[in-house]
Amino acid sequence: MFARSALYLYQLRKNLRLESAELAEINRKKLRAMIKHAYENVPFYHRKFSSVGIKPDDIKSISDLSKVPVTTKYEIQSSSFDDIVASNVGVNGCTARATSGSLGIPLSVFFDEETLDFEAAVWNRAYLENGLRLTDKMAIIRLPRFFPKGRRWYETLGISRRKYISVFDDPERQLELLEDFKPDVIKGYSSSLAILSDFCRKRASFSKPRLVFTGSESMDDRNRKLISSVFEAEPLDYYGCIEFSLLAWECREHMGYHMNTDSVMMEFVENQEEVSPGERGEIVCTSLVNHAMPLIRYRLEDVGIPVEEQCSCGRTLPLLKKVEGRMDDFLIAMDGRVISGQIFSPFPFENWEKEGIRQFRVIQERRDKLTIQLAVNDSSYFDALVLENARRRLQQLFGEDMIVEFQILEKIDRDSSGKLRTTVSKVPFHWKNH
């Protein structure tokens, strides 16, 4: 409902200026209400709380939350709807969204109408704070299955006009559609906008958006520079997921990502303990909003680094320094060190431009084997010495015994989620073991 979402937006924007302690108190109350609701209405959580002897009154503060055992994707996947959807809400009238669960089996999450309105307001807060205007035209490059059906009534009034473009279209087609629509704002996956930027820079002229929003994938420096130089607009990156919608967002200060703590509590955990600021931890989330299907201490299987600093923009939402990626974006060296996929590009190469490399992916096939896939400009001229140097650098980092294989390809394809992952690990990896 438009009016309800507008009211949420008003409240959410006010929260940005509250003192941290004041906002924490609002969030604490929401958390207590959610815990009580889950205990009373969701059999799955009633059992989970009872299994460790917890009653809702034992969770008085955010720090008490760690008494609740974590929830895994697998647990949700293997539960019936009656078990995980609140009995006083029910699935009728709810919207279901599917996300990739563990073992490649999809997982459905249910959202009530109020939650959808709240989520829309959370997104709009981040957009408006970053300079979006109501009359802006936004082109969104995404998976076709997420295209909405039909236009909203206000689009005909010139408000919040949207154009959806498939992430699977080639950059030539995407540019054609963009030139036709002439958006003020472009939003898309960072890898997709980087490929589009690379295509655009060979063009004499094309219409440039005023704002560029990216998300859904880890943003690396190379893509960030490429997108900002071609579009002449600094990309502002958003971190979200199907289960909780928008979790955190960059502002123009680029000091990190503001976490929407008034929507989702985010914990950063290693060995069942909260990590210190500046340290890497597995992200565990609790929704303060979704009463239809509460998710409490849910393991997102992503890894991030929280920080203590306040952002210089003055907004009091706390900062997440960066999201290092999914658990399977991490690789393991021969001696057991955990290596983030973010070390790549240009590493293990020196200069992609000069070396003629367009795309890159590393796959850890086995504990002792890395396969490096490369899409290059001209395979017949590709220099063997470049590969040899890259192999040497990889072995220095991962261990001399690491087998490194190269595959030269025409193009690296997106996976079915539309993402272009640069790191893929097939080695079972449990964060707690390291």
Q: Which residues bind Zn ion (CB under 5 A)?
A: 251, 253, 311, 313, 315
Helices assigned H by DSSP within 255-413: 352-355, 384-398
C-alpha 236/C-alpha 316 separation (Å) is: 18
- State the pairing for strand pair 137-142/185-189: parallel
**Cβ–Cβ under 8 Å, residues 45 and 79:** no
Residue with tokens 């709810």: 94
Are the C-beta atoms of 404 and 129 separated by less than 8 Å? no
Nearer to Zn ion, 40 or 253 (CB): 253
Cβ closest to Zn ion, residue 314 vs residue 336? 314
Tell me the C-alpha distance between 236 and 245, whole Å.
17
Distance in Å, CB of 315 to Zn ion, minimum = 5
Using alpha carbons, select from 346, 375, 371 the residue that is nearest to residue 359.
Answer: 375
Q: Decide whether 251 or 264 has the Cβ nearer to Zn ion.
A: 251
- Which of residues 58 and 253 has its CB atom nearest to Zn ion in the complex? 253
> For residues 70 and 298, what is the distance between their CA atoms, to the nearest angstrom?
6
Q: How far is the CB of 311 from Zn ion (least distance, A)?
A: 3
Of the pair 254, 367, the CB lying nearest Zn ion is at 254
Closest distance of CB 349 from Zn ion, Å: 33
Q: Smallest distance, Å, CB 139 to Zn ion?
A: 25
3-class DSSP state of 416: coil
129 vs 302, beta carbon nearer Zn ion: 129
- What is the DSSP secondary structure assignment for residue 259, as one 8-state letter? E
Closest distance to Zn ion from the beta carbon of 373 (Å) = 37
Alpha helices of 311-407 — where are they, by DSSP H? 352-355, 384-398
**Whole-number minimum distance, CB 318 to Zn ion, in Å?**
10
